Structure formats: structure tokens, C-alpha cells
Structure 1
Amino acid sequence: MEIMNKKHFISPKTTIIVQQLTLLLLLLLSFFPVFTQSQAFDYAEALSKSLLYFEAQRSGRLPYSQRVPWRDHSGLTDGLEQGVDLVGGYYDAGDHVKFGLPMAFTVTMLSWGVIEYGDQITRAGEFEHTLEAIKWGTDYFIKAHTSPNVLWAEVGDGDTDHYCWQRPEDMTTSRRAYKIDESNPGSDLAGETAAAMAAASIVFRETNPHYSHLLLHHAQQLFEFGDKYRGKYDKSVGVVKNYYASVSGYMDELLWAALWLYKATDTPKYLNYLITKAHCFGGTGWAMTEFSWDVKYAGLQIMAAKLLMEVKHKEHKHTLDQYRSKAEHYICSCLNKNNSTNNVERTPGGMLFVRQWNNMQYVSSASFLLTVYSDFLRSSKQKLSCHGGAVGPEELLGLAKAQVDYILGSNPMNMSYLVGYGSSYPTRVHHRGGSVISYRENKGFIGCTQGYDNWYNRDAPNPNVVVGALVGGPDCQDNFSDERGNFMQTEACTYNTAPLVGVLARLNQLYEQENQSMHLIASY
């Protein structure tokens, strides 16, 4: 009788186990199809670097834990002329004005990222840094909200600021502050700031309950102020019109704030606001193809659609279904599956293209909404119904990943548009602090126009790398010119990077899960 070599003998039981594991792998690959046939990026590294950008944008007195070494204290007298402490907050982009509306949207998006993907951010080791980025903004909003019906909207003005090219530590430009109040309303600004503080209150509920309660108190007051004294903030604060005019008006921000307050408090009056004003405020009427610091409808509609998962919202199903219909119009437009006139354009390289100026803000925000809605569809075991047919959650996640990968280097220029990530990225970012020698290295004063003469017009790369900045990005033909004066493409903004934080954490989780599955099979 021939004796089998035990080394090569496979028992029937082992065969069944291998077959089961193979089936499991196939199921996992069908669940995570976005990684099976594409270039892999280090999403954890990209996440870590994206959070450094917010430290580069800090205004005020920097903490000892500051990780961006080329920055120092700045704007330490902000608000002094008006008798109020407005030290802190963020510079929005490559200049040194503190614009309230985009700053608040930045904080809302960072907070939403934590609410959706806090566990994934934690696993990537970046939870504390994300909370620090949020709190740097909310600490400032607390200061800026000096009484129930007063919110300081802006510090500095774009016109005088853009006349100079200086480091923030050397600023000689006007630091005049502008406010909204009962006589000069700004419902859009009050609404977005309320949304930011309500969202952040959810984030800090467990780690810092007292701070969470304080944020919620401010959020509720700001919402009441914005709703009672209605008006566009750019009419009250005229200096903002050339920079952050509220084109969409304030109705989207009031609905957005009400929904975030409902999420934070579970108080029926905020839900009732969302339902009763759904039609007259455009929540169930406006079908959008963009989501941005100005236009909140798509994000609002997606959040409202998610309420359908809870049984307690059954009585409002009709209105929430209308919100969902408009949310899905946005998602289908990104997927290029609406009828031909209602889709987001794509470049030849596959990037979603909305506008020539700072297009990457729309790419990052779309990636976030696609990711969130994909998870909503998966958890509720549903599909999306577009004009072009039914779509599964994996296709939404696939598009989100494709957009993030484009950002990180999978594009015709083979360039990462997230500064500091990868081997090739923009080196002449349109950023005053980044383009001038570090104050910590050379404390000699650099005057207003001296910065233009000695630094702005240099061909050399910036002396300081603005790590984590997501620049405006390429044009509709995927062309990109890395020039400091090309501000449409090389300037970065806080609200470009903010939506990426949650998406990068989610993609990192999926990548790790697929790797674990592959290793499990390989071990057999």
C-alpha cells in the first residue's frame, strides 16, 4: 500500500475550508471593488499631511504643540480697534483675512468627517489632531459671538491685504473687524457658524462635555439670531462681496443649521423647521450639481435623506423623500447618470470639473458626499436610481476613490495636488507665508511691497512647503501650471482640504480591510 506524503496531503476538511475562504475573499472583493484594479496610495499618510495644513493656516498665538515650524504668532491685536478679542481662527487661503463664512464651513466639514468616520480617523492615529483642528476654529467662533445677536464676520479686508505680500508675522495691513447684528443681519453667516458649532458639539460630547455644551449654547443662539433677523451677510459686510459673496442666499444655511441642531439636540422644533420650510426655503426644490462654502443644499439633502433610516421619522417620510430625490440628483450628476444637461463635467483625465477657479474644492466636497451616501446605501441595503439606471453603493465609492486618487497623483500630469504628498507636487503655491523665508529663520521685517520684489516674483520654489494644502488644481483639460502668480490653480483654501479628512480615513480603512483579507487567504 502506498503511503501518502503528508506534506502534500490535503484532507477533505481542509479543502472545504480553503473553498470557504476563497468564497469569502470573492465576497470581500465584491464589497471593496474600488481597490482591485487600481493604483494604491498611502491614504493614512495623506490624512496625516492634510491635518498639518490647518496648523499652517493658524492665526493668533501658536501653542507649544505646533508642528509646522515655519509659522509663528500673528494677528495678536485682532479686534483691538473695536474693543473685542478676535485673536485666533484661520486664514482662509494664501492671504491673511479671516473670513467667517468659509472658516465656519471648514469647521462644519471637519466635524462631519469625525461624526461619520471618527473610528477610522482614530485607527489612523489622527483623532487628536483632527479635534485640535476643529477646536482652533470653534474657540475663535466663541470669541467672535460676543452677544446673542452679534457675530464678528471678518478681520481685515481683501483689498488692502492683497496689495501686500508679507508673512502673517509681519502684517502691516488693516485688521479692522466687521460684524453682523440686528441692524446689519447675516443669516447665512449666522446659520453656517451655528451649523459648525452644533456639529462640533457632537464631536466633543464624550471627550469634553462642558465644551460641547458651550458650543451648543452658542449654536442655538446664533440660529435664533439668523432666523429672526434675516438678510444676506454680504449686504451688511460690503467688503466681503469681491471675495465670499453669498450667491445662494441664506435659506440653505438656515436649513443646514436647523438640521445640525436637530442632530445635536434631538429637539423636535429643529426637525419641524427642516420639514415645514423644506419647500419655501428650497430644500426640496433646488437640484444642485455642486456643494461648497456657499451652496449647502446637496449636503443638507443627503443628511436629510439619512433620516429616513430611523423609524421615528416615518411621519415625515413624504418630505424626507423629496429631500432624498434632490440628494440623488446631485449624486447622479457626479456619476454622469442624469440626463445630459444635468451632469457635472469631467476632464479627459476623469476629474469632476465645476469651475475654472479653485475647482478642487468641488472635487473634495463631492468625494465626501459620495462616500457618505455610498455608506448610507450599503447600510440600508438600497440602490440609487439614476436616469441612467440603478447604481450600487460600490460605484459611488469607486468614483470618490477615483477623485481622491486623481488628487494624489493618478492624473495626466502625474502630480499630487495635495502639497507635500508624493514625489511631485506644486512647489510655488500662491501663499504669502509659504513663499517668504520663515520668520523663525529670519526675523528681519519684510515690508508690504518688499515681499513682491524679493519673493513673489522669484522663479525658485517656495522656501516653506505648505504640507496638506489642496491647491486649486488643473483646468478642464487637466493642464496645470505651477506658478506663484497663477492663483486660480496654485492657491489652496481650508475648505478644499477639510472634506478630504473623512474620505481619506474611510479609504484607508477599506484598503487595510482588503489587505487583511488577502493575507488571510495567503496564510492558507
Structure 2
Amino acid sequence: MRPSLFSAAVVPIVHLAASAQAQSSSSATATSTYLPPPAASGTVASAASASPNPQWSQLLGNSLYFYDVQRAGKLPDNFRVSWRNNSVLNDGKDVGLDLSGGFFDAGNFIKATFPLCWTITQLSWAAMMFGGGYDAANQTSYLDETLRVGLDWLLEASSQQDSLVVLIGNEGVYWGGDQDIPTDRPSYKITRQNPGTDVFGSCASALTSASMLYAGTALPLGPNSNGTAASLRNTTYSRLLLNRGQSLFNLAQTATPQQVYQAAVPQVKWAYPSTDYADELVLSATFLAMATGNKSYIDYAQTTYTASHFPFSNGALNWDQHTPAAPVLLAQASLMDAGLDLNTTKYQSDAEYWLDLILNGQMSQTFSTSGGLFWFKGDSDSASLNPSLNAASLAVTYHGMASSTQKGQGYLDWALSQQDYALGKNPMNAVYSVGLHPNSAQNPQSALASGGTDAANIDSSPPTERWVLYGGLVGGPDKQDNYYDQRSDYEQTEVAIDSNPPLMTLIAYHIQNGDADPFYVSLTQPRVILPYPSSGGGGGLSGGAKAGIAIAVILVVIIIVGLLGWWQRERLRTFWRRKRLGLKA
């Protein structure tokens, strides 16, 4: 669950806000500024001969535009989001840093390092496989800009010796635009003496995967095929990112005690609490092995992988839990560099263990809704599309590496079913990317875009969102496939920077492959509009009826407690397994 307004040895480096703009890049420059077209354009079928596909290209362009909406700090001249202003220019000053830039995390105004790192890792990883999609759609310059805004912020956040800023902001409720954001925005850090193994590792993955992309690395799609890297080659920037990634990994590996970051900084627990750190160690070590060819990194990754009893038989892939991605990346590393001496068959088997449980409907604590959305109990209760699309993104990444063509096709078909659900093939006829189609969600929870200032009445003040939040992917429907488009229902309507990358992986895949229009173009039925469930009502129950209900509730609670112990047996086994290994929860 993500936070909401309504939920409870480092390489020395100068400040980078200006230096990123000064460095040259080989990426193609957009011939004209991309601005999202009106939603009606999402109904126009593309010509069969059109290349790249205009609709997939528009969806990719909108998705990147969303990151410009979320930008903080001093904005460039002629910024394409005309209604955005400079903001939070004092961020980081309390710890001697300039952290005014970067991105606002979601519908509120905090800056959170943990989900930002996963966002950058996913974008970079996909752009080393399906980067041809960015190039063909003329969106590479915007990908470059998005990555650099996040990467430069991370470089600045980690620029003081043996430390990393992990959160800026607090739980205070502010609902309004970018010019009146409260100035009480504390910065929270982890250090060598007070470490957060998970975020050190996650940041190392982000910087290292991006360094590979800026080095022009193309990753294998399968045993006999290579992906295409987006045209972002910049060796100077790549070396800078790699050096910092190595330094942060060193902290994750050697700073003791190894622990989740909220153990070091309890003030961040309300926002993005972590559940583990072994997955971060495996991913970061594997990316470093792929970037450097240094076998000591892969040895550490495999030792940690085995000691942590990977793979797991359940659990979603998201900003916190990366275990399902570990065998996929290790399988890819084995195909990329034979010198790493990895057992491809082992990691194929481990990757397919998790994917097959999903496809065969055998993973505990999961089900498919009647409309076809894959649901992870607990994880999908807030932002239901995110776990589904993350799994779909991983399936597309892996499908060409599968142990058989038939299996690979099954993974791809399943992934596309989840993608289609998000893009209109669902009982609501809803397109969950904002501003893309007449059936798009209309009321994302975004303090930036709403135009209102009344936190107590965000659904009606104003009644219509002032600004269209183009490219934002809302949380998604409930487990009955119902979507109410209610601004205050953050579990359904909030946008976030880590929500877009899995869908963008799928989009870039389609553009690179020259595929036909996305599903939403063929939508002819209007979106189903549901009244929001009300807790009010007249009448009332008699005393006897209330007593009967109370007794029934007590019995149900007793039954539920017993069932929960059985349902959670796998997670409990994992918990005690980790305790015996000395890994902190």
C-alpha cells in the first residue's frame, strides 16, 4: 500500500542540477515538442501502413509527459506543462544539499527514494530491451530527460560521504497547487552507522542499470536474439552512475547491521515501509556483475539468493518486493555474459516457477477477478493495476528466454491480457490511463491537477479536475471490477511515479515489434459510471436484530482468525525461515 494524503565509500561529486543539462547525449532530439492530443484522438484507428503505430506512440508520449507533471524544483524555460510552476526550492537545505529537483512521488508532495529507485530501474531495464520503441516513437529525448531528473536527484541525495536521503516531507495533509506547499519538509537520511540495506541496494540497482543504458548496452531477449537499447549513449555520465552504484552497493553489503531502512529512520515508516532487503542485494549485485563483468558480484548475488531460499512461491512484484525479478535478471545475465558462469537452466526453472503458479491459478493468496484482472490479496487492495502490470511486464521481459516456445507464448498471452484490461477490456469499459480516450478515468487523486484547496471536500471542490493529468495511470478497480472514479478514494484513483513503468515496458515492446492498435481504439461502448457507495441510509435495525448480528460477527471473527493462520502458512514459514537466517523483517 502506498502513502496518501488520506491514509495514514561514496565518490565525491558536485551538485548536478545544472551539470546534467551541460552533458551531451547521442539521443535523438525531438523535432517538435510533444503535447498530448485531446482524448478523442484515442478513438481514431491507425492506418495499417503507419509506422510506428500512432496510438502506441501516443500512449508512450503521454506516459512520459506524466513525469513532467510530477517534476519539482526550478523548471526549465518553455516547460511543456504550462500550468506547472517552480516549487519546493529549499528541499534538502536542512541537510546541506540541493534536493529541490526530482519528482513528487504520487498525488501528494513527498519525495520518496525507494519507489523512485524502482521506477528508474524498470525504465532503464526495459529501455535496454525495447529501446527501439522509444526511438521509433521519437520519445527518446523525453526518456533521457525523465531519467536524468531522477538520477541527478539520486546522485545529489547520495553525495555526502556514506549517506543517502530516503524521504523528504511528512504526513501533514496539504491539498492544493504547487505554489503554496508548506515549507516544513524535513529530509531523512540513512548512513553507514545507521543503515538501510534495502534502499542502499535499490539505489545501486537504479544507478547501475541506468549506467548500462547510457553505455549503450542491449540486453538479450532470448538465447538467439538481442534487444535494442534506446539511443542514449553518454560514456561520461555512464561512468559517473556506475561509480556511485558501486559505492552504494558497498554500503548495502558492508554497513551493519543489515536491516530495512525504517529500522534506521522510524519517521519514514508511514510512507513506504520495506519488508526485506535480500532481494535488493541480489538485484544490485547482478546488475553490477552485468555492468562490470566482475564475477565477485555474481558470486555474492547467488550466495544471497540461495541463503534467502529464493524463489518464493507467492508474493507480488512491486516497489518493495523484487524477489520475482531476481531469477529473470539472473537468467538474462547468463545469456549476456558466459564468463559469469551462471546456470541458465536453474534460473529459467526458478523464473518459471513463479510465472507458472500465476498462469495455472495455483499461487496462494491470488485469484482472477470475473473481468480478468489478476489479484494479489493484500497487495492489490490498493492500486490494483500495479501488481498485475508488474507481473505482466516481467512476463514480457522473460518470455523470449523461456524453456520452450510454447511456455514463452503463454507468458506473453497472459501479459497482454492484463495490459488489455488496463486499456479498456474490462467490465467498466474504462481506460485507466488519464486523458487518453473518452473512456479514460476523469478524477485522479492529484493535489497538483485537481485545482482545489479544500482537503475535506476534494470530490466536489472543484467538481471537475482543473487540469487533465495526461499519462497518469490511476490505481484501478476493486476485486469486483468496479471503478468509481472518486477523487477521495486514493486506493482506486491515486497516480504515482512507479505505476507507469510496467505499462511503458509493454508499450515500448509493441512499438518495437510494429504491432497494431491497442485495445481502447476499438472501444465503442461508453464507460460504465457507478454511484459511489454510501455509508448513510434511513431506517435502522431493531435491538434483537442488532444483537443477532453481534453474535454472528463474533463467530465470523473466530472463524476468520483460524482461516488466516492456514491461508498465511507460506508467509509464516518464510518469516521464520528468515528469522533463523538472521535476516531482519
User: Which of residues 283, 304, 310 is equivalent to 2:330?
Assistant: 304
For 1:216, the equivalent position in structure 2 comes to 242
1:357 to 371, 382, 385: 382
User: Residues 394-448 of structure 1, C-alpha deviation per residue, up to 9 Å, x if partnerless?
Assistant: 22222222211111111111111011111112211111001116xxxxxxxxxxx
1:227 aligns with 2:248: no
Once structures 1 and 2 are overlaid, which stretch shifts more, 48-57 or 120-129? 120-129
CA distance in 1, matches of 2:267, 2:91: 17
What residue in structure 2 maps to residue 242 of structure 1? Answer: 270
1:410-429 correspondence runs (5 A): 410-429=425-444
Per-residue CA shift, 1:207-237, capped at 9, x if unaligned? 2111111011110000001111122101112
Q: Contact 2:195/2:259 (CA < 8 Å) preserved in 1?
A: yes
Aligned to 2:468: 465
Q: Among 404, 419, 422, which residue is 1:383 paired with?
A: 404
Go from structure 1 to structure 2 and tell me whether the alpha carbon gap of 1:343 and 1:308 turns closer, same or farther (over 3 Å shift).
farther
Whole-Å Cα distance in 2 between the matches of residues 331 and 343 of structure 1?
15
- Counterpart among 307, 312, 334 of residue 358 in structure 2: 334
- Give the residue type in structure 2 aligned to 1:278: Y
Which residue, 434, 437, 447 being the options, matches 2:449? 434
Deviations 1:362-400 (A, max 9, x none): 1221121111111223xxxx417xxxxxx4322222222
Query: Which one of the candidate residues 299, 302, 307 is aligned to 1:275?
Result: 302
Residues 68-124 of structure 1 deviation map (CA, whole Å, 9 limit, x = unaligned): 222111111001122221121111110001011001111111111111111122112
Answering whether residue 193 of structure 2 is matched by residue 177 of structure 1, we say no
1: CA distance, partners of 2:414 / 2:268: 35
**Structure 1 unaligned residues grouped into runs of 5+:** 1-34, 385-390, 438-449, 516-524
Deviation at 1:313, TM superposition (A): 5.3
Read off the aligned partner of 2:488 and give its amino acid letter: G
Q: Assess, with a 3 A threshold, how the Cα gap between structure 1 residues 511 and 322 changes in structure 2: closer, same or farther.
A: same
**Partner SS for 1:153:** strand
Structure 2: give runs of 5+ residues left out of the alignment.
Answer: 1-47, 217-232, 519-585
40-49 or 146-155, larger mean C-alpha shift: 40-49
CA distance in 2, matches of 1:69, 1:459: 20
Partner of 1:263: 290
Pick aligned residue for 1:254 from 248, 273, 281? 281
Distance in 1 (CA, whole Å) between partners of 2:320 and 2:489 is 23
Equivalent residue number for residue 80 of structure 1: 93
String of CA shifts for 1:109-167, please: whole Å, max 9, x gaps. 1111111111122112211111211111000001001234111111111x11xx22122
The residue type equivalent to 2:471 in the other structure is G
The answer (yes or no) to whether the contact 2:434–2:441 under 8 Å persists in 1 is: yes
Residues 333 and 168 of structure 1, relative CA distance in 2, 3 Å threshold:
farther
Pair 1:345–1:511, CA change in 2 (3 A): farther
Q: Deviations over 1:308-355 (max 9, x none)?
A: 4357258442xx5444333112211332x16x3447421111111122
Q: TM-score, normalised by structure 2?
A: 0.72
Give the direction of change, closer, same or farther, for the CA distance of 1:392–1:343 in structure 2 (3 Å limit): farther
The aligned length equals 446
| Higher deviation after alignment, 238-247 or 249-258 | 238-247
After superposition, the Cα gap between the structure-2 partners of 1:254 and 1:341, relative to the gap in structure 1 and judged at 3 Å, is closer
What letter matches 1:351 in structure 2? L
Question: Aligned partners of 1:344, 1:213: CA distance in 2, in Å?
Answer: 42
Higher Cα radius of gyration: 1
Aligned to 2:213: 203
C-alpha contact 2:436 2:470 (8 A) present in aligned 1: yes
The secondary structure found in structure 2 opposite 1:152 is: strand
1:288 touches 1:329 (CA, 8 Å); kept in 2?
Answer: no
Higher helix share goes to which structure?
A: 1
**1:388 alignment counterpart:** none
2:419 matched residue in structure 1: 404
The equivalent of 2:391 in structure 1 is: 366
Does the 8 A contact of 2:74 with 2:87 survive in 1?
yes
State the identity %.
29
Q: Residue 4 of structure 1 aligns with which residue?
A: none
Q: CA deviation at 1:455?
A: 5.2
User: Whole-Å Cα distance in 2 between the matches of residues 321 and 451 of structure 1?
Assistant: 57
Q: Does 1:501 align with 2:528?
A: no
Distance 1:419 1:137, change over 3 A: same
Q: Using the alignment, how far apart are the partners of 1:430 and 1:485 within structure 2?
A: 7
Cα distance change of structure 1 residues 220 and 341 upon mapping to structure 2, 3 Å threshold: closer
- Give the match's secondary structure for 2:165: strand
Instruction: List aligned pairs for 1:49-128, cutoff 5 A.
Output: 49-64=62-77, 66-128=79-141
User: In 2, Cα distance between the equivalents of 1:484 and 1:145?
Assistant: 35
Shift of 1:454: 7.3
CA contact (8 A) 1:116 1:502 kept: no
For residues 456 and 512 of structure 2, the distance between their equivalents in structure 1, rounded to whole angstroms, comes to: 47
Q: Which amino acid aligns with 2:408?
A: P
Which letter maps to 1:128?
S
- Shift of the 144–253 alpha-carbon distance from structure 1 to 2, 3 Å rule, reads same
8 Å CA contact 1:290, 1:366 repeated in 2: yes
Deviations 1:230-260 (A, max 9, x none): 221011121221221101x111101111011
- Which 10-residue stretch deviates more, 401-410 or 189-198? 401-410
| SS of corresponding position for 2:454 | helix
Q: What is the rounded CA distance, in whole Å, between the counterparts of 1:165 and 1:237 in structure 2?
A: 26
CA distance in 2, matches of 1:479, 1:53: 25
Could you tell me how far apart the structure 2 residues matched to 1:54 and 1:223 are?
A: 27
Q: Does the residue aligned with 2:307 lie in a helix, a strand or coil?
A: coil
What is the rounded CA distance, in whole Å, between the counterparts of 2:392 and 2:345 in structure 1? Answer: 23
Report whether the alignment pairs 1:165 with 2:175: yes
Quote the offset at 1:458 in angstroms: 2.4
- Whether the 8 Å contact between 1:334 and 1:366 is mirrored in structure 2 is no
Amino acid at match of 1:174: D
Moved more, 320-329 or 77-86: 320-329
In structure 1, give the amino acid aligned to 2:250.
E
